[in-house]
Amino acid sequence: MKFIQPRTLKEIASLIDCEYVGDSSFEVLGMNEFHVVTAGDIVFVDHPKYYDKALSSKATVVLINKKVDCPEGKALLISDDPFRDFNILTTHFKPFQASSKAISESAKIGKGTIIQPNCFIGNNVVIGQNSLIHANVSIFDDTIIGDNVVIQSGTVLGGNAFYYKKRPEGYDQLLSSGRVVIKNDVHIGASCTIDRGVTGDTTIGAGSKLDNLIQVGHDTIIGKKCLIASQSGIAGCCILEDEVTIWGQVGTNSGITIGAKAIILGQTGVTKSVEGGKTYFGTPIEESRAKLKELALLRKLPAIIKDLKENES
C-alpha cells in the first residue's frame, strides 16, 4: 500500500507512539509485506527468525520489536508490538469505509457491463467493459475487474486475508489493505472466494477460468490462461505461472510456485514448488508417473508378503 503523499519518519513514529532510529525527516512512501516491499516502504517484523530478512529487504523502514544496528540507508521504528502497530497504521491510512448503497457511487462500471440484481459493489471498484456480474455477487472495496469478465452467483471478491497472530486472549487479525485484480477475459464460477492482498494485490491473469467453489488466498498471483477445477484451494502468497491446469480438490501450501503449463491432478496436495511442463499427483506431490508406479507396487505388497510367509513355512 502506497500513501497518498509521502510522510516523514517522525510522523509515522508519532502515530504509533514509538521511538525511531534515523533522520526525523526520512521519507516514508508506504507500507508492505516482505514479498511486495519496495524502496520507501515500512515492513514489520516481530520474530528473531525473520529479523535478517526484514533488515536486508527492499524496505527502507523496519518496524521491529528489538533495538538492532540500523543498516545504512534505512530507518527503524522500535515497537513493543509491531503487529499491533502495523494494524494501527493500516487503520489510519486505509480506514474501513461503510457503504450505504448496493452499488457505491465511487464505483466505475464500463460500457456494456451488466450487473444482475442483489449484487454488492463497494467503494472505488472498477469494472471494465462488456462484463457480466450475476446475481448475489459481492465485490468489496478497491477491486479492479477488466473487460469481458464473467462472474457467477454467490462469489465474493476482496474478503480479508486469513492472517492471524495467536495471543493469550485469542487470535488477532492482521488487517488487509490490498486489492483483488481480475484481468480481461477471466471467468469465475459460482461461490468462489478470492481474498484481497494484505498490502498488495491478489491477481487473476487474463484468460484464466475458475470453476465453482474455489478459494484463492491473499496475495496469490495466478497467471494467464490457467484452468482451475472445482473445490480447489490456493493458499496465500502462491504463484501459478501461465497456463497451469489444476483439477478438482487440489490444495496448496502457502508461498509455493507452480511452473508454467504444469498439470496438477485431482486431490493432490501441493506441498512444495514444482517445475512447469510436467504432470503431478499425490500428497506429498510427485510427478504422476512415479506416483502411479508407486501405487501399483503397493497393491502387489499383500501378495509379496503372502509368498514370503509361504516360503518361510
Residues carrying an active site annotation: 218
Cβ neighbourhood burial of 183 (10 Å; 0-12, 13-18, 19+): buried
| DSSP string for residues in 4-40 | EEEEEHHHHHHHHT-EEES-TT-EEEEE--GGG--TT
CA distance 215 to 126: 22
Edge-to-edge order in the sheet of strand 209-210: 114-115, 132-133, 150-151, 187-188, 209-210, 227-228, 245-246, 263-264, 279-281, 286-287
CA distance 312 to 306: 10
Judged by DSSP in three states, 296 sits in helix
Judged by DSSP in three states, 121 sits in strand
196, β-bridge pairs: none
Among candidate residues 224, 222, 262, 267, the one with its CA nearest the CA of residue 245 = 262
Owner of C-alpha cell 509361504:
310
Owner of C-alpha cell 491477481:
203
